[in-house]
Structure 1
Amino acid sequence: MWKYRGPVKLVILDTAGTICDGPQDLRHIWPDDDGLGVKAPVVPFYEVLKSRGVVLNWAAIRKPMGLFKKDHLRTLLETPEARAQFKNVHGRDWTEKDLDEMFEDYKKILNEVIVHPELVKPIPGAVEVIQKLRDYGKLIGNTTGYTAEASKLLNTKLEKEYGIKFDFAATPEIVKAGRPYPWMVMKHMEVLNVYPPAAVVKVGDTKYDIREGKFAGAWTVGLYATGNDTFEVLAAEEPDYLIPSIAELLPVIWDIENRLMEGRY
């Protein structure tokens, strides 16, 4: 059976919790902050839901992290806790119209929060590792659960202020569906002319990052110390590698390349 024995060609990175928006105590800005990474999506979820009489803590809001943000909001509204609170305040169940209106409000708040200097700041090692990958000829991609507008705002900041630039970035709006479906990864492969899937590495901090990569046939690397999901949650998805942060990524890439050359996969 033929096996690809060439190098890693493309490394696809998630954004929040992988490249930027890492763990830090920002209670002086957001009193409910839990100190974990990936705060930018949580803040607008909390505020939008609260404006409709639904109060969920940050831990509950984090559970669907990695999904496209409208899917994330829907998942939160479908929880028994949110359903009960909404009905108690409004005297009825929420509707698709409510979801659409909340998502519009969510996007407005997200566009402001996502470019907060503390949340744009790269996770230690991110700038250096990405540059090193480029030095070795690797293409750098980006998939996200953010909206296209928010992603563009964030990626523009990352490039302008920290020199982090992607060869291609995909958002759920440009494909059939976002995570956990593989389409954003496969869109990268099409646009950048990269194949086979064994030449691609997907890196992220949520279970949906791992599923996205696996469904596309790519190598998967979970990051358990800088983002949303814990070691245990990520380990349950059985990624090919599980490391604390992007700072430890380079040895993983070299190990993958050794395995590729030897056909050990």
Structure 2
Amino acid sequence: MTNLQAVMFDWAGTVVDFGSFAPTTIFVEAFKREYDFDISLEEARVPMGLGKWDHIKAVGELPEVDARWQAKFGQPMQKEDIDKIYQTFMPLQVKKVAEHADLIPGAKEVIDGLRQHNIKIGSCTGYPRIVLDALLPAAKANGYSPDCAVATDDLKAGGRPAPYMLLQNMIELAVDDVKACVKVDDSLPGITEGLNAGMWTVALLLSGNEAGLTLQEFEAADEATLAAARIKAQDVFAHSGAHYQVDTIADLPDVLADIELRLSKGDRP
């Protein structure tokens, strides 16, 4: 590969934490602990990819959640409510994130292949820096250490779906061409982030938030089960503008080979 310069990865559901369970289960627990208020795992998943304060706000604005909240508290969720849930969420997330640092099958092989081609490895996340700093050494111990890692609160300009975290990756990695970069993510805000940055985008269907499968469920599933999960995720990404949709990071090499071919022909994202 001579045209690609960098691949930028999301974290949970993309490279580590099959099914993206570290953040979603903690959201459910934080709502319960702070307000004795129940949200489902499915509701917690809806805004995945946003910064975590914005994620809590977005969950509270879901019509079904808002209706239950107002029925219980007599008014919509307020800023101070979001702050309290976030303050409960953060220490729980820091404590638990390292427990969800196992690499998704195929990730190490893909990363090693990129390094063999001198392609730089960037990363960004909806996690704030305090959580990312807990995840980085756990992921490194499992064999993954990107060349750059930007957290959602590192930049004053803000996080997803804006492109700033990806552009900061480019600066730190000394990458000079956005069309020579690929963003890989399992969430809609992450794909939009990549498009806003002018990069190629690859949506992951089965390893992340939208399918919501555990690794054990994925490995034990028959083709009908996987097809149903794939369709569920495809429905979410149908109008996302993602250039490619594949099951997991293990399928990335064929995508990158196609992007390399298209770049050699003068195509742009």
Residue equivalent to 1:106 = 89
Tell me which of 12, 15, 21 is aligned to 2:11: 15
Q: Which has the higher helix share?
A: 2
Distance in 1 separating the partners of 2:73 and 2:195: 41
RMSD of aligned C-alpha atoms?
A: 1.6
Residue equivalent to 1:156 = 137
Q: Is the partner of 2:98 in helix, strand or coil?
A: coil
Residue equivalent to 1:262 = 265
Summarize deviations over 1:198-240 as a string: whole Å, max 9, x none. Answer: 0110001111111000000001011101101212212321211
Distance in 2 separating the partners of 1:216 and 1:92: 38
Summarize deviations over 1:144-188 as a string: whole Å, max 9, x none. Answer: 0011111111121111x2221111111111121111111111111
CA-CA distance at 1:92 after TM superposition: 4.4
- Report sequence identity in percent: 34
Distance in 2 separating the partners of 1:47 and 1:213: 30
From the superposition, tell whether residues 80 and 115 of structure 1 become closer, same or farther in structure 2 (CA, over 3 Å).
same
Tell me which of 183, 202, 221 is aligned to 1:221: 202
Q: Is the partner of 2:59 in helix, strand or coil?
A: helix
2:23 equivalent to 1:41 = yes
2:235 equivalent to 1:232 = yes
2:186 equivalent to 1:171 = no
Which 4+ stretches in 1 moved above 4 angstroms? none
Q: Is the partner of 1:40 in helix, strand or coil?
A: helix
Q: Which runs of 5+ in 2 are unaligned?
A: 211-232
Distance in 2 separating the partners of 1:21 and 1:246: 12
Contact 1:223 1:246 in 2 (8 A): yes
Distance in 1 separating the partners of 2:76 and 2:82: 11
Equivalent position amino acid for 1:248 in 2: D
Distance in 1 separating the partners of 2:254 and 2:31: 42
Contact 1:20 1:122 in 2 (8 A): yes
Summarize deviations over 1:93-124 as a string: whole Å, max 9, x none. Answer: 432122112101100111122111xx211111
Contact 2:50 2:160 in 1 (8 A): yes
2:111 equivalent to 1:130 = yes
